[in-house]
Each structure stands twice: as structure tokens, then as C-alpha cells.
Amino acid sequence: MNTGPPFSLPRMTAMVAWSQAFLREVLSSGDIAVDLTAGAGRDTLFLWRQVAPEGKILTFDIQEESLARTRALLDQADVPIHWLTPNNSALPAAGVYAVAACHSRLEDFLPAPPRAVIANLGFLPGGNSAVITRSETTIRALEASGRVLCRGGRLAVVAYPGHSGGREEEREVAAWFGGLPAATWSVLKLAAVNRPDAPTVLVAERRQ
């Protein structure tokens, strides 16, 4: 008989919910975490709720519209939000720090190793579908995440093969995860294998 605490799993093919569930397990109040793609702010808000009230979230996006939507969502939820520039990268207070820069520049802004990094690739839903994440900068952001993540920390990516360029990006991202050395990383891929255009989740944990 299972005597542990009650828990519920995400709906089977709800990939964003799975990516969040993998990170929830390792996050607690006071941690630092990173959202590589702020978008409409939902992953950022999720991360904040895991690390509040003492933690810090860095959230990156190259589109003003995305950061404005993220800000609106955070304001609605009364989350403290600050703006970060390379010359002002100290994080004095708890809250969310928005960064208007490419996620490949992660290391220019991070004050200390994060416990979790999330990325939801592709384009902003309801926004300009021509602005998409690109393999070259996505892989650079993943490499930077791999260098900075603390021991026991996790990196979760949702990749979308269904849009133009998305399949190549998903393939390159999966290859990057697959190349992480098994001695220091545990890696998992979740895919709806009977739906080739459906999003996939890749998760890596740096071993203790």
C-alpha cells in the first residue's frame, strides 16, 4: 500500500504541465530559477510560485510584446517584477527579473547557480509566429544552462516539431540532451509517439 503523500500526475499528453512537474520536485522557497522564454509569462509565474517568497526568477525574451504580457500576468498575481540589464545584474530583492535579451546570454546576468531552468520553444501563442526560437541560439542557451545549473538541479525543455523549422530544432535539442555524459547527468524524453507533430519534453538532472 502506498502510504506517501497524495499527488496527481499531469494529464498524459499535457507536455507543458509535465515540464513544470519535473521542476516542481526540485524547487523550494529561496531558490533561483530561469525561464529562457518568457512568452506570455505562464512558466515564469509557475517558477515564481515554487520559489516565493524568498526566491529569484530570471526570465528572458527578445520580444517586447512577450515581456509586456509576462509583466501583465505577474502584476495580476501581485508578483514583484524588476528589470535587469548587463550593467545592473545584481539581484538585491526577491521576485522576478525580466531580461530583454537573447537567452544565449544567460551567463551575463546570473548571480549564482540556478536550481532549475525551463524553456518552452517555438513562437508566442497569439503573437508574431515569424519570431521563433532558433536552434543555434537555443543550443547556446542550453550549453550555458548546463554549465551553470547546480548539482541536483534540472533543465526542462518543451520542443514543438509541428511548425516550420520546429522539427529541426527539436532534433538538435534532443541530440544535445542525448550527448550529456551519463556519469553526471540523468536525461529523459517524453513523447506522444503516435503523434509525430506533438510537442516533446526533454529533462536533464545534474547528478549530486
| Residues at the contact surface with ligand SAM, assessed by CB under 6 A | 37, 39-43, 60-63, 66, 102-103, 120, 122-124, 131, 133, 137
Cβ atoms of 95 and 80 closer than 8 Å: yes
- Least separation in angstroms between residue 60's CB and ligand SAM is 5
All three cell numbers of 15, joined, read 507536455
Residue number with CB closer to ligand SAM (44 or 191): 44
All three cell numbers of 7, joined, read 499527488
Using omega within 30 degrees of 0 as the cis cutoff, is the peptide bond preceding 53 cis?
Answer: yes
Alpha-carbon distances, residue 42 vs 20, 59, 111, 120 (angstroms): 10, 11, 23, 10
DSSP state of 126: T
- Least separation in angstroms between residue 124's CB and ligand SAM is 4
- Least separation in angstroms between residue 61's CB and ligand SAM is 4
Closest-approach residue to ligand SAM (CB): 39
Residue number with CB closer to ligand SAM (39 or 95): 39
Question: Dihedral, CA atoms, 198, 65, 101, 177, nearest 10 degrees?
Answer: -10
- Least separation in angstroms between residue 64's CB and ligand SAM is 9
Residue number with CB closer to ligand SAM (62 or 187): 62
